[in-house]
Amino acid sequence: MRIDRREFVRETATAALAAAVLKPLCAANAAEKEKKAVPEPDALPIVDTHQHLWDLRKLRLPWLKSAGHLNRNHLMSDYLKAAEGLGVVKTVYMEVAVADDDLVKEAEYVIDLCRRKDNPMVAAVIGGRPAAEDFREYITRFKDSPYIKGVRHILPGGKQQGLWAESALVKSIRLLGELGMSFDLCMPPQRLPDAAKLVDACPDTRFVLDHCGNADPLAFRRPAGGKTDAKTRPPHHDPQQWHRDIAALAKRKQVVCKISGIIAQADKDHWKPEDLAPIINHCLEVFGPDRVIFASDWPVCTRVASLRQWVDALEQVIAGRPETERRKLLHDNAVKFYGLS
């Protein structure tokens, strides 16, 4: 990861002044943004904790070349249209795997959105490379920002799994805890035990498990007649292994779970809310009502369903739970975890 050193020195010199000016404005901006959301009657307010955006005129996303319909701009105006009437009162930006040289640009892009009053974004989890030598230099430039709440870097699985235990990585994620920031865990289900070890190595850092540990709905669906449709792909993991590893990770009290992402792996042409229910319900049970937060994973969710369809499906699955628990999942837990006004 390369960061222009002269630019770093120049911008760091103004960071403290900028933070001093921004912090008094942050709460007022967030309150005004929440007033602008108009939920449908009887809808609970929603904090979307995993909102992706990208403007390809400003940022480079190498992975988009093979991402089909996602390979175009996805701007705040597009999100607002998708979320209309759903009661989304606040959003937290989630990094989008930009090119290494664009990491600072990405952070600046979303900080600007958080400052503005014309959209619901109030905080951000930015990209970073915790195993890189200059990670401390990179992340401490944002330590006084009222908007930067954490970092995500999707660690590799497979043959590169050793990265999970590298001392440089552990040191950097411990640093996030010192700075009051969190780290998002996003990995294949087979790597959940590695995630638990990383959490244990960083006891003073808070973690967010993305996408229910990337559980695959097809691993839990019972095909009609007990036979698997030849047109349906094999599931990505063993369901019992996922059950055990999610429950084990949930025992670590500094981990919260995002109820998100699973819709993007559902059977596009034949999915129904019941396909998602085993995953959602298990996460809600083992993490408990106070350590689960809603996330849309928009626009990635549109590989299978619209944002409205995902929200409707989730609300059907949790409809039988007490309103206090549903409100915590959709709104209150996120406000508390990220310190939103």
pLDDT digits (tens, 9 = 90+) for 218-264: 999 865 544 555 467 889 999 999 999 999 999 999 999 999 999 99
pLDDT for 1 equals 41
Domain-located, residue 105? yes
Residue numbers of the domain that contains 202:
42-221+229-338
pLDDT for 260 equals 97
pLDDT for 30 equals 53
pLDDT for 165 equals 73
The helix/strand/coil state of 88 is strand
Domain-located, residue 28? no
* 294 phi and psi angles, rounded to 5 deg: -80, 150
Lowest mean pLDDT of 5-19, 186-200, 223-237, 323-337, name the range: 5-19
317, pLDDT greater than 70: yes
pLDDT for 22 equals 42
Per-residue tokens: 172: 């950097």
Task: Please state at what angle helix 239-250 crosses helix 192-201, rounded to 10 degrees.
Answer: 10
Q: Are 193 and 245 in contact (CB under 8 A)?
A: yes
Q: How many CB atoms lie within 10 A of CB 171?
A: 15
pLDDT digits (tens, 9 = 90+) for 68-113: 999 999 999 999 999 999 999 999 999 999 999 999 999 999 999 9
pLDDT for 40 equals 57
Average the pLDDT over 132-159 and give the result: 90
pLDDT band (50, 70, 90) for residue 39: low
pLDDT band (50, 70, 90) for residue 24: very low
pLDDT band (50, 70, 90) for residue 304: very high
Q: Return d(Cα 197, Cα 32) in angstroms, integer.
A: 41
Q: How many CB atoms lie within 10 A of CB 188?
A: 16
pLDDT band (50, 70, 90) for residue 16: very low
Query: How confident is the prediction for the chain on average, in pLDDT?
Result: 88
Listed in sequence order, the DSSP H helices in the chain are 5-36, 76-82, 103-115, 135-140, 167-178, 192-201, 211-214, 239-250, 273-287, 307-317, 323-327, 333-338
Lowest mean pLDDT of 40-44, 131-135, 152-156, 289-293, name the range: 40-44
Domain count, the chain: 1
274-303: buried (b, 16+ CB within 10 Å) or exposed (e) per residue? ebbbbbbebbbebbebebbbbbbbbbbbbb
Lowest mean pLDDT of 15-19, 80-84, 313-317, name the range: 15-19
Domain-located, residue 237? yes
Q: Find the CATH number of the domain harbouring 271.
A: 3.20.20.140
Domain-located, residue 13? no
Torsion sign over Cα 17, 20, 23, 28: negative
pLDDT for 221 equals 80
Domain-located, residue 248? yes
Domain-located, residue 272? yes
Share of the chain above pLDDT 70, in %: 83
217, pLDDT greater than 50: yes
Domain-located, residue 67? yes
Average the pLDDT over 196-215 and give the result: 97
21, pLDDT greater than 80: no
Average the pLDDT over 313-330 and give the result: 98
Strand arrangement, sheet containing 148-152: 46-51, 88-94, 121-127, 148-152, 182-185, 206-209, 255-259, 292-294
Domain-located, residue 144? yes
pLDDT band (50, 70, 90) for residue 31: low
Contacts of 200 (CB under 8 A, 6+ apart): 252
User: What is the chain's Cα-based Rg?
Assistant: 20
Share of the chain above pLDDT 90, in %: 78
pLDDT band (50, 70, 90) for residue 164: confident
